[in-house]
């Protein structure tokens, strides 16, 4: 790469970094920018964080920076918590990425007996040694923010600049050894290739393929974090495809692979695998959130297991239930936070809602809202769009969706949850003279059903009257009614089953 350090380039190094580097140099040490920030600067991208490497030892760094940026010795500017030789220096900057600058002592890593943690950290003497322990050549370039002249000096022993120019991810040193040392690098190779739109160099790719199984040694949380970065890239789909091509996906989400080559019926032109990826692609292109992207990727993951028949008339009844179950397993296995997982599972479980103008009543729309939660409507519409576009044969659904939104607007103020009833559990207990228990819940659930059916019934007088009536029923009769109410919320789903059966499938 014809790298030409210009004044502009120097200007893109923040003042905080220059100050920190100056202070190290003034104290008799070397200071380099290293890692992602150098790569990003060379590519004209804005660095996410700034890492400084130095030959000063952690204790010396702490000493040098204890009173930095107005800090005092009893409230020093440094934090030194980890055992990897990294000292954080608080700069007092307003910029989030510059609040704490990480300064790491040059090091070489010792042996990795467990393939994920070096057995010991050894400090190194030179920046070249430090660069040699880094994962990929594009991440192994150091930059001296030389303050005397405007030309920053680069240290690039592995020709990382050439690889940036040629858009190549290449391991530093012998790829097999490097993946063997730390198997997370397998994921990182794909992650950088996806984020930067680079390709993985031949020998490095061969080594990833050969060592893919080492991923099993890696903590699921670390795999998850790289997987998230792949999903959040604009080219997320290339990333998933690359994970598959290099044999990594089977250690992350093997369930996705079951859709490979599984053909679908006349509503689709793509296989299940292709369709899931196309849905993700839509979500990524729209820059949707992680949960939408994951829900899009996983929404049909239950199809291979539910497929009945072959060819244009095959069916996938209840696939959304199986998809939700498999999604739950994958997200749990990868240690996704519970609330995020629940949201995704919910989207997958109810992605198949049915709506057709004139066929679904206002009560049906209220039931839909009660089922999916009014706050989730936008996300369900996004998933539906991803599904539709990803099918390759998008039908004229937008009109239907717009109509659904119109209907939702219309019924928005109507009661759809127990707390919107004009009576509550206390009222039920008082009127019937009963203690808290399942009976109270059953009565409320029947009342809610009646009110969803007809919102005009949501008056205190009417509901109190109904409570007295329902109070006369036996537990068994009441449970039967409550069960029917709960079942009605599924109208949107059973709707599609019935229509599909009628129109397309003889079953």
What is the rounded distance in angstroms from the CA atom of residue 403 to the CA atom of residue 277? 28
Encoded tokens for 217: 């040694």
Kindly provide the b/e burial profile for residues 32-59, where b requires at least 16 CB atoms within 10 angstroms of the residue's own CB: bbbbbbbbbbbeeeebeebbbbbbbebe
Nearest to 164 by CA among 8, 45, 13: 45
Residue 49 contacts Mg ion per CB under 5 A: yes
CB of residue 35 to Mg ion, shortest distance in Å: 6
| Of the residues 135, 156, 379, 385, which one makes contact with ligand ATP according to CB under 6 A | 135
CB of residue 104 to ligand ATP, shortest distance in Å: 9
End-to-end CA distance of the chain: 63
Per-residue binding string, ligand ATP, 373-402, x by CB under 6 A, is ------------------------------
Which stretch of DSSP H or E encloses residue 101?
Answer: strand 100-105
CB of residue 50 to ligand ATP, shortest distance in Å: 9
- Paired strand residues for 52: 33, 103
Q: What is the dihedral of CA 118, 122, 125, 126, to 10 degrees?
A: 10
User: DSSP secondary-structure letter at 315?
Assistant: B
What is the rounded distance in angstroms from the CA atom of residue 469 to the CA atom of residue 461? 13
User: DSSP secondary-structure letter at 46?
Assistant: P
266 contact choice in ligand ATP, Mg ion, none (CB below 5 to 8 Å, kind-dependent):
none
Residue 36 contacts Mg ion per CB under 5 A: yes
384 contact choice in ligand ATP, Mg ion, none (CB below 5 to 8 Å, kind-dependent):
none
Alpha carbon distances (Å) from 483 to 72, 372, 449: 67, 18, 10
135 contact choice in Mg ion, ligand ATP, none (CB below 5 to 8 Å, kind-dependent):
ligand ATP
13 or 298: CB nearest ligand ATP: 13
| Of the residues 185, 303, 307, 384, which one makes contact with ligand ATP according to CB under 6 A | 185
What is the rounded distance in angstroms from the CA atom of residue 304 to the CA atom of residue 240? 19
Give residue number: closest CB to ligand ATP. Answer: 36
| Of the residues 90, 107, 134, 293, which one makes contact with ligand ATP according to CB under 6 A | 134
CB of residue 223 to ligand ATP, shortest distance in Å: 12
Residue 137 contacts ligand ATP per CB under 6 A: no
Alpha carbon distances (Å) from 70 to 90, 319, 389: 10, 61, 56
CB of residue 84 to ligand ATP, shortest distance in Å: 10
What is the rounded distance in angstroms from the CA atom of residue 31 to the CA atom of residue 17? 10
- Residue 498: exposure state from Cβ atoms within 10 A (0-12, 13-18, ≥19): exposed
Footprint (CB under 6 A) of ligand ATP, residues 140-179:
140
Stretch that binds Mg ion, among 32-40, 189-197, 224-232, 415-423 (CB under 5 A): 32-40
What is the rounded distance in angstroms from the CA atom of residue 406 to the CA atom of residue 398? 12
Residue 465, Cα to own-chain centre: how many angstroms? 50
75 or 203: CB nearest ligand ATP: 203
207 or 423: CB nearest ligand ATP: 207
CB of residue 230 to ligand ATP, shortest distance in Å: 11
| Of the residues 21, 127, 184, 467, which one makes contact with ligand ATP according to CB under 6 A | 184
Footprint (CB under 6 A) of ligand ATP, residues 6-65:
35-36, 48-49, 51
CB of residue 38 to ligand ATP, shortest distance in Å: 8
Stretch that binds ligand ATP, among 72-80, 82-90, 182-190, 465-473 (CB under 6 A): 182-190
Residue ranges in contact with ligand ATP by CB under 6 A: 35-36, 48-49, 51, 134-135, 139-140, 182, 184-185
| Chain positions contacting Mg ion, by CB under 5 A | 36, 49
């Amino acid at each position: 790469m014809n790298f030409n350090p210009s004044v502009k380039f120097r200007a893109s190094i923040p003042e905080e970094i220059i100050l920190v580097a100056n202070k190290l140099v003034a104290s008799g040490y070397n200071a380099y920018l290293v890692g992602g920030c150098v790569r990003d600067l060379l590519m004209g991208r804005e660095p996410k964080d700034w890492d400084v490497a130095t030959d000063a030892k952690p204790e010396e760094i702490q000493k040098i920076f204890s009173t930095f940026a107005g800090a005092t010795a009893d409230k020093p500017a440094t934090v030194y918590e980890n055992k990897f030789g990294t000292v954080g220096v608080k700069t007092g900057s307003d910029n989030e990425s510059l609040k704490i600058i990480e300064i790491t002592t040059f090091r070489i890593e010792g042996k990795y007996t467990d393939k994920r943690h070096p057995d010991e950290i050894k400090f190194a003497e030179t920046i070249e040694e430090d660069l040699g322990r880094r994962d990929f050549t594009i991440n192994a370039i150091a930059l001296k923010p030389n303050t005397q002249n405007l030309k920053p000096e680069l240290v690039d022993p592995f020709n990382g600049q050439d690889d940036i120019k040629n858009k190549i991810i290449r391991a530093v040193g012998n790829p097999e050894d490097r993946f063997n040392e730390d198997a997370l690098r397998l994921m990182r190779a794909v992650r950088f290739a996806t984020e930067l739109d680079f390709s993985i160099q031949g020998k490095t790719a061969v080594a990833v393929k050969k060592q893919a199984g080492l991923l099993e040694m890696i903590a699921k949380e670390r795999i998850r974090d790289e997987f998230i970065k792949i999903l959040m890239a604009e080219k997320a789909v290339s990333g998933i495809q690359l994970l598959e091509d290099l044999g990594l996906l089977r250690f992350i989400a093997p369930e996705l692979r079951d859709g490979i080559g599984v053909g679908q019926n006349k509503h689709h032109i793509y296989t299940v695998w292709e369709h899931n990826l196309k849905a993700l692609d839509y979500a990524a292109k729209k820059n949707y959130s992680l949960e939408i992207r994951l829900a899009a990727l996983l929404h049909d993951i239950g199809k291979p297991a539910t497929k009945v028949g072959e060819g244009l008339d095959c069916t996938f009844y209840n696939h959304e239930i199986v998809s939700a179950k498999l999604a739950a397993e994958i997200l749990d296995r990868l240690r996704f936070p519970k609330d995020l997982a629940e949201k995704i599972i919910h989207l997958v479980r109810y992605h198949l809602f049915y709506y057709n103008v004139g066929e679904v009543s206002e009560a049906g729309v209220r039931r839909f809202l009660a089922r999916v939660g009014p706050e989730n409507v936008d996300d369900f519409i996004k998933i539906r769009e991803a599904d539709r576009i990803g099918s390759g044969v998008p039908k004229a659904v937008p009109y239907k969706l717009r109509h659904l939104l119109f209907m939702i607007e219309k019924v928005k103020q109507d009661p759809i949850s127990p707390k919107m009833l004009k009576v509550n559990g206390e009222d039920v207990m008082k009127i019937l003279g009963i203690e808290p228990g399942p009976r109270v819940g059953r009565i409320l659930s029947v009342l809610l059903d009646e009110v969803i059916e007809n919102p005009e019934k949501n008056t205190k007088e009417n509901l109190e009257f109904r409570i007295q009536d329902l109070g006369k029923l036996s537990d068994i009769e009441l449970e039967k009614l409550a069960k029917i109410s709960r079942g009605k919320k599924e109208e949107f789903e059973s709707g599609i089953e019935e229509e599909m059966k009628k129109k397309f499938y003889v079953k």
